[in-house]
Structure 1
Amino acid sequence: MELRQLRYFVAVAEELNFGRAATRLRIAGPSLSQQIKSLERDLGVRLFERDRRTVALTAYGETLLPQTRALLEQADALRRTARGFAASEPVRLGYVSWRPSDLAERVSGVAQLLVDTWVMPSHTQAARVADGSIDLAICWVRATDLAEQSLAGQLLGADRLFAVSSGDESAVRARDTVVLVDADTEAWASWNIYAVEFARATGATVERIEDHGITGPAYFDHVRRLGRPVVTSPKRDTTPLPRGFVRRAVIDPVPVWTWALVSRQGEARPAVLAAVEALTRDVKLDLEPGVCWLPADDPFRSYQA
């Protein structure tokens, strides 16, 4: 027996019509009927007498309805109390270069979110969650990273990467692009891993650099020097696009960079759990199989199924 089944019971009892109750609950009619039957099996009594035209409460249903309403009200009160506790507890969140623009609004009334001002690489932010320095991190991680550091990751967003070159704005095939890999493996560890695997999987060219030119003016200098489309990293860059340069979609396949909301496995703090639920609720990733590319160890590859 689940609370949602009890809510279904109350809705049908109030509407005395499965169709109207299903519309009110925003579920399919057959699913509602199955859930009511399951509840009746769990309780061992029939709650409704129904035929093709009418629905009526049985004597058992009449007796259980007020008790069910009281139980649901207790559950709602418990949830409100827990949310009140959560809202008073600070939750520290770190990020790399991107965070949702409505971050504060999503957790308003659920948790007191403290956004850490230290913008660090993905692997560093994940490690800070693991050692307890922060509670949550928005970063790029591999399934291996999560397992080795006893972390959990939920999808928060995704970027479709593009390329920059001079000339026309037509789409460019992945195999005809260049990816930059920097010698500073501490600052660019996650990007380097992604870029090298992308090149191996698609035939793109790896260009090794030593000037942190993954972003900024140095990036555009490399585009000029190479004379080929160079894939951009997901790091947000405010440097204006130089005259004569264009952004070009990358296809066959489309490189996708995922952002995970990382927390500790077994996290029990109500505020942290409430923040995770609020931030990741209804987040979806539409990845067409065979069209989009993710690294083999990306924890969200199953979204392509």
Structure 2
Amino acid sequence: MELRQLRYFVAVAEELHFGRAAARSRIAGPSLSQQIKGLERDLGVRLFDRDRRSVAMTPAGRALLAQARAVLEQADELRRSAAGLAATEPVRLGHVGWLPPGLAARVSGVAQLHVDAWIMPSHVQAGRVANGDIDLAICWARTDGLADLGLEARPIGVDRLFAISAGTDTSAVRAGDTVALTDTDTATWNSWNRYAEAFARDTGAQAVRIDDGGITGRAFFDHVRRLRRPVAGPAGRGRPDAEATA
């Protein structure tokens, strides 16, 4: 069964005349007749009673007409939606290294999504949204910083904070007994530095300044070994379980 066959069926049902239906559908009369016969074979029912003088719908034809119209309307709506999406500018999305799984597929029915290739710090991505360079950013940002830029944020997930320590002790650690690392490279680590400073201030943790970008990655675990104290750090940022225990 093809959509065009349904369109021919509706045309004949509304005209009750194969000649007029053929002219309306811009198809030759014999071809229209063959298409209707093919549709009847596919459906397994006769749609029309016809002779040389008249065309009448069968009970099965009358029963299926409304459904055929509904299918055609849905197909037309699908085309209109696709045309609207094709004419819409893509949404430009920036991020800092993490995206929700399957994001492009999940939003495909709503908008075209262009994920920017530049992975930048959170405060830089927020600034790009404010400047109009991108439309949205998935990043870590403080509400006061966003307010200064005239932006709004919506939470899409939660990042757990772990206390990472050398050895095999997995007992709970008081927040005040941990170390919070901040980096001298404020251009890159501005968002995390502000969070770590607030964490240390609110919990009594010790803030330790570093200068090698060891907030994440393998250098982070070198600091854990050097400091010999639990170091607070976000989950999912390169934590090799063989080298450190949460």
Q: CA deviation at 1:171?
A: 1.8
Distance (Å, rounded) in 2 between the aligned partners of 1:202 and 1:228: 16
SS in 2 for 1:124: helix
Q: CA deviation at 1:217?
A: 1.8
SS in 2 for 1:172: coil
2:232 corresponding residue in structure 1: 231
Distance (Å, rounded) in 2 between the aligned partners of 1:239 and 1:229: 14
Q: CA deviation at 1:159?
A: 0.8
Q: Bigger CA drift: 94-103 or 191-200?
A: 94-103
2:160 corresponding residue in structure 1: 160
Output one character per residue of 1:64-114: Cα deviation in whole Å (capped at 9) or x when no partner: xxxxxxxxxxxxx99x96786346431110001221112112202111101
Contact 2:216 2:238 in 1 (8 A): no
Contact 2:160 2:234 in 1 (8 A): no
Q: CA deviation at 1:144?
A: 1.9
- One-letter code of the match for 1:228? R
Q: As a proportion of its length, which structure holds more strand?
A: 1
The structure with the largest alpha-carbon Rg is: 2
Contact 1:84 1:109 in 2 (8 A): no
Q: Trace 1:62-101 onto structure 2 (pairs within 5 A).
A: 85-86=84-85, 88-101=88-101
- Unaligned runs of 5+ residues in structure 2 are 1-75
Output one character per residue of 1:6-33: Cα deviation in whole Å (capped at 9) or x when no partner: xxxxxxxxxxxxxxxxxxxxxxxxxxxx
Distance (Å, rounded) in 2 between the aligned partners of 1:135 and 1:154: 14
Q: Which gives a bigger RCO, structure 1 or 2 (Cα 8 Å, sep 6+)?
A: 1
**TM-score normalised by length of structure 1:** 0.51
Contact 1:90 1:114 in 2 (8 A): yes
- One-letter code of the match for 1:125? Q
**Runs of 4+ with >4 A deviation:** 80-84
- One-letter code of the match for 2:221? F
- One-letter code of the match for 1:85? G
Q: CA deviation at 1:239?
A: 5.6
Contact 1:214 1:233 in 2 (8 A): no
Q: As a proportion of its length, which structure holds more helix?
A: 2
Contact 1:182 1:212 in 2 (8 A): yes
- One-letter code of the match for 2:99? R
Distance (Å, rounded) in 2 between the aligned partners of 1:161 and 1:83: 43
Q: Trace 1:197-208 onto structure 2 (pairs within 5 A).
A: 197-208=198-209
1:278 corresponding residue in structure 2: none
- Unaligned runs of 5+ residues in structure 1 are 1-76, 248-305
Contact 2:142 2:191 in 1 (8 A): no
Output one character per residue of 1:214-244: Cα deviation in whole Å (capped at 9) or x when no partner: 112211111001111101136x53363344x
Q: CA deviation at 1:127?
A: 0.5
1:187 corresponding residue in structure 2: 188
SS in 2 for 1:129: helix
Output one character per residue of 1:121-167: Cα deviation in whole Å (capped at 9) or x when no partner: 00000000111111110012222222221212111111111121123
**TM-score normalised by length of structure 2:** 0.63
SS in 1 for 2:221: helix
Distance (Å, rounded) in 2 between the aligned partners of 1:152 and 1:86: 25
1:122 corresponding residue in structure 2: 122
1:219 corresponding residue in structure 2: 220
Number of aligned residue pairs: give it.
169
Contact 1:191 1:233 in 2 (8 A): no
Distance (Å, rounded) in 2 between the aligned partners of 1:195 and 1:86: 42
Shift in alpha-carbon separation, 1:164–1:85, aligned structure 2, 3 A: same
Distance (Å, rounded) in 2 between the aligned partners of 1:200 and 1:151: 26
Output one character per residue of 1:144-200: Cα deviation in whole Å (capped at 9) or x when no partner: 222221212111111111121123112211111111011000010000000000000
2:53 corresponding residue in structure 1: none
Distance (Å, rounded) in 2 between the aligned partners of 1:174 and 1:239: 19
1:57 corresponding residue in structure 2: none
